[in-house]
Structures are given as structure tokens and as C-alpha cells.
Amino acid sequence: MNLIEAVAKKIDRLVLLFAFVVLAVSLYLVYQLSQDYHRKETIASLDTMLTFTKNMLEEEQQHALSLALLLSGDQQVRQAYRTDDRPRLFTIITNKLEQIHTYQGYRFDVQVHDRELKAYLRSWDFSAQGEPLAGFREGLVLAKKSRRPLVSIEVGKRLNIKAIAPMLEGDRFLGSIEVIEGFDHLRKRLAEQGYRLFILMDVRFLPVATTLQNAPEVTGRYRLVGPVEDPAALAALRKAPLMSLGSFGYFTRAGYLFGYFDLRNFHNDRLGYLMITSYREALSMPSISHDTPSVELNQSGVIIR
């Protein structure tokens, strides 16, 4: 009887141990499946936000282009320019910009160029006049040569959106209107969705982008354009393998999941990267990237990159 009881107890222990092992394995598998599902969902969410960001960036460019076209055709603007009335032109433009900011929330700068592509008027600095721009502003040269409007992300003294509309009289080039927009509105829209924005410019453009000479460095290859809103995320970004990035993708570093796509000008030259990251901590996953299409020219001849 004692032998039977001893064997029964051993069998019970084995059954209990086996049940515990099965339970532990089951819980582990459930955990792994949950992690895998969460990982895929996180990537899908980031991919959606990258598409949202690209669409928003194109929308911002179209807003800038629309304003440039509107100003270049405005009779008050043209009259003040023709009569060389800089004070009146300054007042007309700054009043229009203030109205746009009040009613639409957009903040633009405007620069007027003369027929020699010298700075004629700047909305942010009335005293600035006469600076030759053709030597380092290829967009201005292209707009004058083609007689067509142009919008792109371009390097000047700053890296930002620049929309240029020629002022023509017949086929005669009188000058051009340039609408300049930073990334603040896009930054605000992304923050509403729970994401931070990082704009990185390649350091090879620093000789032109003089206002970014003292901007924060990122891995020695890039300069940060805009404010540092999340020091911890920036610190993680500085540890990332940015030298090996493709044109579009995502990667993790120090608990942050970053999504990115490259920024290119109208020549399809890579200027740097736009990156976003969620406030939430990311899961560990390998870096993935793939190429995106090159610059396209639409049917109207407006370069929309």
C-alpha cells in the first residue's frame, strides 16, 4: 500500500510539473505573440504617420506656392514694385501675411527679387536690399530661366520650403516673389498626434546655410533644423546609424522608434532627412529601409518636390 501511495505521489508531482511547464510555455508563446502583434501594430501606426507627414509636407508646399502666385499677380504688389515704392510694398505684403496668420494660423516670410535676382525686399527685414542671390539660390535661377513657378525644399541661409513665382509682363521677366515657410506648422500638427519632428540637414550645405552653423550636431554628419523639444529622443538619434539610412524606413534606438524619409531639392539632391518619433517607448526591432521615387515634374510645369 505504501509503495502504491509513493508511486501515486510521484505521478501527481510529474503531472503537476508537466502542467506547470505547459502553462509556462503557453504563457511565453502568448507573450511572444502579443509582442509580435504589438510590434507590427507599432510599425503600421508609424507607417501611417509617415504617410500623413509626407502628405502634410506636400500640402504645406502647395500653400506656399498658392500664396506666391497670388502675390505675384496682385495688382497692388505689382504697382508698388513697378514704381519702386518699397515702403508701400512692404506694408502691403506684411499686412497680407498678418491676415493669413490671424485667420489660417500659417506663418510665412516673403522675399521679392529684382530682375537681376538681387534681394529687393524682405518681409522680416525692410533694410535688407541688394544682396546678389543667383550664386547660391539655384531655385531663383531656374524660375527665371523657365518663367514658371517653383516650390521645393531648398537650402538658402536656412533650410525650409521656398515657393517662387516669376512676375512677368508678357514674356519679359520683371522679378519674382518668394514665399518662405519653415516646419513649425508641420511640427505642431505632428505634436497633436503624439509625435516629435526632427529635421536634419547634411553638413555639406553649411557654407550656404549660414544660420545653421551653430545648430546642434547629430552624428557629425547632420545639423538639426529647429528647436530641441525632446532632449532624450535627440540623444537616442545621435546614437543611431544614420550613415547607412536609405530613402525611407524606420529603426529603433534607446527605446525610441524613428521613422524617416529623405528630403530632396528640385535637382533630386538629398538635403537631409525628416524624422518622426512617438512619445511612447518603442519595441526592439531591426532597422529597415527602402528607396522612394525621385522628383517628378507635373503637367503644369510646377516642380512640386
Kindly report the CATH number assigned to the domain that includes residue 146.
3.30.450.20
pLDDT of residue 253: 86
Q: Who's near 148: CB < 8 A, 6+ residues apart?
A: 166, 301, 302
Q: What angle do CA 97, 302, 49 make, to 5 degrees?
A: 75
**Hunting for cell 546609424 — which residue is that?**
241
**Residue 109 backbone phi and psi in degrees, to 5:** -115, 155
Contact present, 162 and 140 (Cβ < 8 Å): no
The mean pLDDT of 24-51, rounded to a whole number, is: 61
**Hunting for cell 541661409 — which residue is that?**
157
Tell me: do 73 and 109 sit in the same domain: yes
Range of the domain at 160: 59-181
Tell me: do 256 and 143 sit in the same domain: no
Q: Is residue 303 part of a domain?
A: no
Q: Is residue 305 part of a domain?
A: no
Nearest in space to 176 (alpha carbons), one of 189, 164, 188: 164
pLDDT of residue 302: 41
- In this structure, the number of other CB atoms found within 10 A of the CB of residue 176 comes to 25
Average pLDDT, the chain: 84
pLDDT surpasses 80 at 190: yes
- In this structure, the number of other CB atoms found within 10 A of the CB of residue 258 comes to 25
Task: For residues 229 and 67, give the distance between their C-alpha atoms in angstroms, rounded to a whole number.
Answer: 29
Domain limit, last residue, from 181, 197, 222: 181
For 119-176, write each residue's pLDDT tens digit: 999 999 999 999 999 998 989 999 999 999 999 999 999 999 999 999 999 989 999 9
pLDDT of residue 48: 87
Q: Is residue 165 part of a domain?
A: yes
Report how many domains make up the chain. 2
Q: Is residue 11 part of a domain?
A: no
Q: Is residue 64 part of a domain?
A: yes
pLDDT of residue 12: 63
Residues above pLDDT 70, as percent of the chain: 78
Comparing 8-12, 241-245, 291-295, the range with the smallest average pLDDT is 291-295
Tell me: do 234 and 190 sit in the same domain: yes
Q: Is residue 51 part of a domain?
A: no
pLDDT of residue 294: 41
pLDDT of residue 25: 58
Q: What angle do CA 111, 112, 116 make, to 5 degrees?
A: 125
Q: Is residue 101 part of a domain?
A: yes
Summary count for the chain: helices (H), strands (E): 6, 12
Tell me: do 196 and 230 sit in the same domain: yes
pLDDT surpasses 50 at 288: no
> 106: which DSSP letter?
-
For 221-278, write each residue's pLDDT tens digit: 999 999 998 999 999 999 988 888 888 888 888 888 899 999 998 888 999 999 999 8
pLDDT surpasses 50 at 110: yes
Domain limit, last residue, from 120, 151, 181: 181
Q: Which residue has the higher pLDDT, 219 or 69?
A: 69
Q: Is residue 76 part of a domain?
A: yes
The mean pLDDT of 212-229, rounded to a whole number, is: 93
Tell me: do 177 and 188 sit in the same domain: no
